[in-house]
Chains A and B, each alone.
Chain A
Amino acid sequence: MTLDLSLLPDGGMPWITASGPHADIVLSSRVRLARNVAGFAFSPRARDGERLRVLQQVRDAAGHSELLARAVLLRVDEMSVNERRLLHERHLVSKELAELDSPNARSGAAVLVADEAALMVNEEDHLRLQVFRSGFDIRGAWERASRADRDLGDILPLAYHREFGFLTSCPTNVGTGLRASVLVHLPGLVLTQEVGKVLSGLQQMGLTYRGLYGEGSEVVGNYFQISNQTTLGRGEDELCDHLSRVVSHVVSREDEARRVLIRDAGYIIEDKLWRAYGTLRYARSLSVDEAMNLLSGVRLAVGLKLVSGLSVYTLNKLLVFSQLAHLSLAEGRPLTESEASLARARYVRGVLAEEAGPA
């Protein structure tokens, strides 16, 4: 099958518009709910036939949810590695569902993509509902996720225990099954060497952080995904409000760090950021890490209003479309890493020349 991305509303990335609050620092807010259908073994343990029946039941139930009724079904189990990687690069499927190291994803693996939501089916839990919002809007994501969860749970009998709450494959998700997260860009705190203190503070407050692609991914380009660590013993509203309060504090610390940088080291920062911009505009080969780091510099420059004519939307687009599977799709064939480095530099040059005008 060939993945037709035009089927996806906003390409499955409502957050890319950068239209939400604090979009210069917070790229996206996300709420994820883990649920299982009663009467079936959890997906990793289930037989192929059981997973296919789960998929059928979830599809039927999704038709009753306002958020998911017009969703596009993508059968991850019928996709090539490159197509699965592409969905992963868009944050629509997890590494677990995409099984990037395997020639085939497990049977029944699928994702329903709607305007603001992606519902993974047969990940380690039968249902992984994700709602995305642009910028800093945990509350908005939670309200939408909660409504869709009720719609689904009215049709599907979900696995639930009076003491332990919603039951999940891994006990780290049990209870609310809720993981709220924000993807933040913190170059100011990294450059002022304050980030270590902020990150260790997060852990003391029951939160955790990861890289751009969640669990197991490295921190590259100063992007951090901050989320709640525990899911049991506190209510959904409390978990979301707590994360919002802490992130709001992190955002103001980042703002403050940026002011300090400009005040105390204005010309050094300005030079560093323009050099990043220059490299992106003229380089002939860019590795993915180098591109991420340089784009981080340009994002900071746009946030500090040093560079004009370049939108946060364009930067969000570059972040996703300069990755391996997206470049391969554009070239019409799977690329090796070194071919991708050339294609990446060409793509970034093209976008910057077109959208930012003459340097």
Chain B
Amino acid sequence: MVCEHCKERDAVVHLTQIVESAVTQLHLCEKCAAAKGIETTVAVPKHPLGDFLHAVQQQAAPAAGDQVRCAYCETTLRDFRASGRLGCAQCYTAFEGALRELLRRVHGAAQHTGRAYEAPVPATVARDGALDTLRNRLQQAVAAEEFETAATLRDQIRALE
């Protein structure tokens, strides 16, 4: 199916809208969907993995540990072992033990000795981060039909905006 907007790329986003009991369907490609502000996809990393991934897979670990999930981006230790890529900064905390072991093998050390860094926390950046989280939770609440939670979240988002 071709994207209804650009009529070039394949439609991968199928959006059903209900406006005053009239049902309309939109079929868009990822790019046009993004241009309309519809966030749907979590891209899957594609990489030549090479020696590093081999090292990751060689590393024996208890299978139960593979289920550990990063609360922020939902990457699991199993996903990491398959792709060799972490999903976000919080993954380093979520998988700390396994990573420390791996870093020792790959780098011969697990302690950073280079430049130390302290992040600035400008108000706008903190606000953008909070807005992101709230918007995600709103989407989840709507999907789960938790309308009271959604209304509260919507109010919080409006207040921040």
Contact = CB atoms under 8 A, between A and B. Distances in A.
- Most chain B CB inside 10 Å of its own CB: which residue of A50, A154, A170, A178: A170
Contacts, number: 162
Contacts of B119: 38, 153, 157-158, 160
B94 interface: no
A155 B122 CA distance: 8
A230 B75 contact: no
Chain B contact residues: helix, strand, loop or mixed: loop
Interface stretch (A4-12, A100-108, A182-190, A266-274): A100-108
B117 A233 contact: no
Contact of A234 (B30, B34, B75, B113): B113
A162 B30 CA distance: 37
Interface stretch (A39-47, A133-141, A333-341): A39-47
Interface residues of A, number: 55
A14 interface: no
A155 B120 contact: yes
A46 B87 CA distance: 8
A103 B31 CA distance: 12
B158 interface: no
A287 interface: no
Interface residues of B, number: 53
B137 interface: no
Interface stretch (B18-26, B37-45, B144-152): B37-45
Contact of A41 (B44, B73, B112, B115): B73
Given A169-B85, A215-B48, A103 B9 contact: yes
B62 interface: no
A159 B45 CA distance: 19
Given A42-B85, A164-B110, A232-B103, A170 B52 contact: yes
Interface string B23-67: 000000011011001011111111110101000000000000000
28 contacts: A38-B119, A39-B125, A39-B126, A39-B129, A41-B87, A42-B86, A42-B89, A44-B85, A45-B42, A45-B45, A45-B85, A45-B88, A47-B42, A48-B30, A124-B45, A155-B120, A156-B120, A158-B117, A163-B110, A165-B112, A169-B85, A170-B52, A170-B84, A174-B92, A175-B107, A230-B108, A232-B106, A234-B109
The 9 closest A-B pairs by CB, nearest first: A233-B109, A165-B112, A39-B129, A44-B45, A159-B89, A48-B34, A157-B119, A232-B107, A176-B114
Interface of A: 36, 38-42, 44-50, 52-53, 57, 96, 103-104, 106-107, 124, 146, 153-167, 169-172, 174-176, 178, 215-216, 230-236
